[in-house]
Homo-oligomer: A and B are copies of this chain.
């Protein structure tokens, strides 16, 4: 299953608890599209959010975000990784 990284703006001032609540909106419905959000990282000063996921396509990931109330258009398929 491909890996994707998507990017959001506008999450400035969000706390850990608020972010966990927001992420629940995705995790509740992600399986309907075969998507799984593995990890997300937030910079509350810049309002920038990065989400790492697996799924069948970019479009499937973006549909889950949109339905959860967190739409974005910036997404990358990341088949190359180093750790």
Contact = CB atoms under 8 A, between A and B. Distances in A.
Interface of A: 3, 5, 14-16, 19-20, 23, 38-46, 48, 50, 52, 76-83
Contact of A19 (B5, B23, B82): B82
A72 to B, nearest CB: 14
B39 A79 contact: no
Contacts of A43: 5, 76-80
Contact of A5 (B3, B38, B50, B78): B50
A76 B23 contact: no
Nearest to A3: B41
Contacts of A16: 80
